Amino acid sequence: MSSTRDIDALIELMAKLPGLGPRSARRAVLHLIRKRSLLLTPLADVMQTVAATARECLNCGNVGTADVCDICTSEKRANGELCVVEDVADLWAMERAGVFKGRYHVLGGTLSALDAVGPEELRIPRLVDRVPGENITEVILALNATIDGQTTAHYIADQLDGQVKLTSLAQGVPIGGELDYLDDGTITAAMRARKAI
């Protein structure tokens, strides 16, 4: 099957993507080959471009195609607010919500004794430098409500204690959420943080 080696290699690589297994990778590759001009060629081209240009922002860890990302270079976003997230996906989610107008700091994970992830692996020293360096007045810890996420939030809070206003995202019932489907922890948090109407 020498002449189909490339196709097999493509399937093998596609199967390494999260959410795709061998079977779905084969389906995807067949779909790509069928829609060569519409999908495969443009995808191959843009993939080449991204492979050549994509990099992590040296300042905040966001992904972009420049050494320093658009958000870090934009003066408009320099409003003294810094939102700390675990992952670039979280940054993208915040941007989609469009509610935050400040800058971000992507940790690139959470502290984890098990996986031997310490502050140095997480851009935390860089964060501690940025707070005075960029005249940050408020640091919003938007870390996931997991044990590791909260441990990391507490560690960062200790590091920045007294230097800056520290806040975290409100916890409660998600919009459209049904109590019946919510876990006890969320209901407890929502009840404790109840507000007057």
Q: Kindly state whether residue 97 participates in binding a copy of itself, applying the rule CB under 8 A.
A: no
Span near a copy of itself by CB under 8 A; candidates 9-17, 129-137, 157-165, 189-197: 9-17
Q: Kindly state whether residue 85 participates in binding a copy of itself, applying the rule CB under 8 A.
A: no
Q: Kindly state whether residue 17 participates in binding a copy of itself, applying the rule CB under 8 A.
A: yes
Q: Kindly state whether residue 76 participates in binding a copy of itself, applying the rule CB under 8 A.
A: no
Least spacing, CB of residue 62 vs a copy of itself, in Å? 9
Which pairing describes strands 138-141 and 81-85: parallel, antiparallel, or unpaired? parallel
Provide the 3-class DSSP secondary structure of residue 196: coil
Cα 186-189-193 angle, rounded to 5 deg: 140
Query: What distance lies between CA 138 and its chain's CA centroid?
Result: 20
Least spacing, CB of residue 11 vs a copy of itself, in Å? 9
Q: Inter-axis angle of helices 5-14 and 22-34, to 10 degrees?
A: 120
* Closer by beta carbon to a copy of itself, 11 or else 160: 11
Size of the chain in residues: 197
Measured distance CA(15)–CA(19) in Å, rounded: 9
Question: Are 99 and 131 within 8 A, CB to CB?
Answer: no
* Closer by beta carbon to a copy of itself, 80 or else 108: 108
Contact set with a copy of itself (CB under 8 A)? 1-4, 6-7, 9-10, 13-14, 16-20, 24, 26-33, 36, 39-51, 53-54, 63-66, 69-70, 87-89, 92
